[in-house]
Chains A and B, each alone.
Chain A
Amino acid sequence: MSNSKRCEVVLVLALLLVAPWVAAGEELSNETCLACHGLEGFAGAEDRPLFVSAEAFADSVHGPFSCTGCHTDVGAVPHEETIKRPGPKVCAQCHGDVVAAYEQSIHGQATSNGASDAATCTSCHGPPHTMKRSTDPGSPVYQLALPRTCGLCHGDPELAKRHNIPVANAYQLYMDSIHGRALTRSGLLVAANCSSCHGSHDIRQRSDPESKVNRANVPSTCGTCHAGIAEAYFEGVHGRAFKDGNPIVPECADCHSAHAIARVDTDPWKLKILSECGNCHRQSLRTYRDTLHGQVTALGFTPTARCSDCHGSHRVFPASDPKSSISPVNLVATCQKCHPRANENFVLFSPHADPHDREKNPSLYYAAQMMHYLLIGVFAFFGMHTGLWLLRSLFESREPEEPRRTPSDDAAESEEE
């Protein structure tokens, strides 16, 4: 007996059992529905599974509610097989404001534009008959489980390509980030997951001014957890310029990235951040590379001064500001962090001296020029000398010019004299 045939038999038997108790127009009880749907293996046409575990449903967040609350198109038993799968509209009966937010979100927009693979309520919250509260560790949107749930789609480069999502591997990047590790390895409930930054039902595109990750909103979004850092940032020169609407000044993600946020005490981060600063402060990075500090970091070692060691990281001030770590009043103390015996003379060393700048560093300029021309002079002269010598030598026979002399020759010569 084929599977569908067996189902049909079960269906008929079940109907025969419940039919006597069901009168038209009467509210259907869950027991009535489960009389059929609660039978394991219960399925419709083309083996569409129609089984609902009574136990699991009773345990779910929707357990106290009746089946017809969501399946509004079922009025009597038996019912047509064509009843619809309830969508967000049905959820909105109870969760009105959540669904309203969803409909404005990028997922809601995509769904209403006909994208079949865009997330709807159940994509994230799980199958409706076993749905759990988001605070329940069994829920796919539980704090610690959410990244995996989002990653079902946002770890798929093919999906990203189909929908022009700029970050194709957000899930992979996140899982390797400090947030991802804190969450998955340490189970830290305070670690940021996807929704901490992007929101949940109201997720918007980054370009949308309402988006929590829109450039204008990034510092306050990060500041939700990193309140102290945000305060320091807004105090510093970058944060103040940011507030004034400066479009190129860095916000959090410009230095720390968005999904691949790394620990700041690791060597790769310490070395990479230099070029982040150098993206804008090109000249400073170039002159930094001329000093031992910059050479050591260029070789891939970190026990030396990097940008933030002298300038600070979030609380960056111009040298003219007495609050600045590189202001003349603080410079000795700043250098002393690494050079304990640094004094007023010592800090006259310029960590960004440009040997090409005659105005600012005349003595260095002339020293560099002198060395430059010494090098050119020596190699020009000896290059020529060597070249000519080589050519001449190749033609020269290797016979010694001086004839062999014997002591008697020597005696003869002295007699001649």
Chain B
Amino acid sequence: MMSFLGLAATGLPLRFSWAPWASNLAHAIGGFRVVLFFHKTFAVLLTLCFLLHLGYLAYLAFVRREKDVLWGPNSLVPQPKDLLDLLAHFRWFFWAGPKPRFDRFTYWEKFDYWAVFWGMAIIGTSGYVMWFSWFFALLVPGWLFNIALVIHSEEALLAVWFIFTIHFFNSHIRPEKFPMDLVIFTGRVSDEEMRGERPQEYRRLLREGGLKSIEADPPPLWLRNFGRIIGFSVISTGFLLFGLTLLAFLRA
């Protein structure tokens, strides 16, 4: 989360270099060299997170041979049910059917996951191509750097805007979650919320007897407050960056 925001804050001023706030932000951070230094630092940090995640998945799938990482309700791999859920969700939007019974990962959460997954691969690769352009120039023609910049900046804009609008709404702002879902900080959801949001998983765990194993105490107040502080800062920073970039985008 920190590296994502850091990358956004140090990358967006370049993308919207004509806007006064972009210049002010870049100067406030400490000048172009400092901006670039932080951008690269956060990039390495996020790359490490990404590689750690990949390593963890590989460990689960190939060492512990947990097949449900790759397929089934516990997997983030899209399932036929996701498409049905999507259609059912739309029917529910129009009062044409009941709310779909979501399992552990909803289709929009999977989209978020894969968007970030693909985004990190694309933005990361194009970023490293530009960072080490002298090295890549040994292998590929230089016009690829033109393409790398376009893809890097547009994909990053997509990622940033998506997170600051669609993801914020889906996961935090919508009435059921308002003002934010603290699960990322607490790691726990209430029984009631789980029944409302993920009835299928609730029922499945109930049936399989897994519900007992994930039972936990309610998160302590300090943890919830800690989450609220970080969460509010992130969401407000996100909205601020979204507002500024949208204005600059429309003015261009």
How far apart sit A295 and B248, CA to CA, in the bound complex (Å)? 14
Closest Cβ–Cβ distance, residue A331 to chain B (whole Å):
10
A-B contacts, 13 of them at CB < 8 A, read: A296-B32, A299-B13, A301-B26, A343-B137, A345-B139, A346-B142, A350-B142, A364-B150, A375-B157, A379-B165, A389-B169, A400-B199, A402-B199
Q: Are A398 and B27 in contact (CB under 8 A)?
A: no
Q: Which residue of A lies closest to B193 (CB)?
A: A400
Give A398's nearest chain B residue, CB to CB: B176
Whether A342 pairs with B151 at a CB distance below 8 angstroms is no
B232 within 8 A of A: no
Q: CB-CB < 8 A to B94: which residues of A?
A: 388
A364 adjacent to B137 (CB under 8 Å): no
| CB neighbours of A85 from chain B (8 A) | none
Question: B149 to A292, Cβ gap below 8 A?
Answer: yes
Nearest B residue to A351 via CB reads B146
- CB-defined contacts of A301 to chain B, threshold 8 Å: 26, 31-32
Set A353, A372, A389, A399: member contacting B146, Cβ < 8 A:
A353
Q: How far is the CA of A295 from the CA of B36 in the complex (A)?
A: 12
Indicate whether A378 sits within 8 Å of B158 (C-beta atoms), given known contacts A364-B146, A367-B151, A413-B207.
yes
Question: CA separation between A361 and B206, bound complex, in Å?
Answer: 59
Chain B interface residues (CB < 8 Å from chain A): 13-15, 17-18, 22-23, 26-27, 31-33, 89-90, 92-95, 98-99, 108, 115, 130, 133-134, 137-143, 145-147, 149-151, 154-155, 157-158, 161-162, 165-166, 169-170, 174-176, 191-193, 195-196, 199, 202-203, 206-207
Q: How far is the CA of A119 from the CA of B39 in the complex (A)?
A: 62
In the bound complex, residues from chain B placing their C-beta under 8 Å from that of A410 are: 206-207
> If A346-B134, A402-B196 touch, does A389 touch B174 (CB 8 Å cutoff)?
yes
Closest to B99 in A: A401
Knowing A299-B22, A301-B26, A345-B137, say if A350 contacts B143 (CB, 8 Å).
yes
Minimal beta-carbon separation of B141 from chain A (angstroms): 4
CB of A345 within 8 A of CB of B141, answer: yes
> Could you mark each residue 345-373 of chain A with 1 if its beta carbon is under 8 Å from any beta carbon of chain B, else 0?
11111100101000001011001100110
Asked if residues A349 and B26 are in contact (CB atoms below 8 Å), the reply is: no
- In the complex with contacts A348-B143, A368-B150, A371-B151, A289-B18 CB distance below 8 A: yes
Q: Given the complex, which residues of A lie within 8 Å of B157, measured CB to CB?
A: 375
**Contacts A295-B14, A299-B23 given; does A349 touch B142 at CB 8 Å:** yes
Q: Assess whether B141 is in contact with A348, with CB atoms less than 8 Å apart.
A: yes
Chain A residue at smallest Cβ distance from B154: A371
User: B158 near A375 (CB under 8 angstroms)?
Assistant: yes
Question: Which residue in A291, A364, A394, A404 is a CB contact (below 8 Å) of B195?
Answer: A404
Residue of B nearest to A346 (CB): B137
A contact residues around B175 at 8 Å (CB)? 390, 393-394, 396, 398
B23 proximity list for chain A (CB < 8 A)? 298-300
**Which of A289, A291, A372, A382: most chain B CB closer than 10 A?**
A382
Within the complex, which residue of B22, B142, B192 is in contact with A348, where a contact is CB–CB below 8 Å?
B142
Tell me the minimal C-beta distance from A404 to chain B in angstroms. Answer: 7
Contact at A361–B13, with CB atoms within 8 Å? Answer: no
- Name the A residues within 8 Å of B32 (CB-CB): 296, 299, 301, 303-304
In contact, A349 and B145 (Cβ under 8 angstroms)? yes
Cβ of B26 and Cβ of A299 under 8 Å apart?
A: yes
Instruction: Mark out the residues of chain A between 234 and 267 whose CB falls within 8 Å of any chain B CB in the assembled complex.
Output: none
Contact A345-B196, Cβ < 8 Å, known A367-B150, A396-B175: no
Residues on the B chain within 8 Å of A48, using CB:
none
Contact at A350–B146, with CB atoms within 8 Å?
yes
How distant is the Cα of A347 from the Cα of B162 in the complex, in angstroms?
35
The interface residues of chain B lying within 8 Å CB-to-CB of A367 are 147, 150-151
**Residue in chain A with minimal CB distance to B33:** A303
Residues from chain A with Cβ under 8 Å of B13 in the complex: 299
Write out the residue numbers on chain B whose beta carbons fall within 8 Å of the beta carbon of A398: 175-176, 196
Question: Closest Cβ of chain B: how far from A267's Cβ, in Å?
Answer: 11
A386 within 8 A of B: yes
- Tell me which of A304, A349, A372, A393 has the highest count of chain B C-beta atoms within 10 A of its own C-beta: A349
Of B27, B99, B151, B199, chain A has the most CB atoms within 10 Å of the CB of B151
20 new A-B pairs (CB below 8 Å) besides A371-B154, A405-B206?
A294-B17, A295-B15, A298-B18, A298-B23, A300-B26, A342-B137, A343-B137, A343-B138, A346-B142, A348-B143, A355-B150, A361-B143, A371-B158, A375-B158, A379-B166, A390-B169, A390-B175, A394-B175, A400-B192, A401-B195
Contacts of A388 in B (CB 8 A): 90, 93-94
Given known contacts A361-B143, A398-B176, A402-B195, is B154 in contact with A295 (CB within 8 Å)? Answer: no
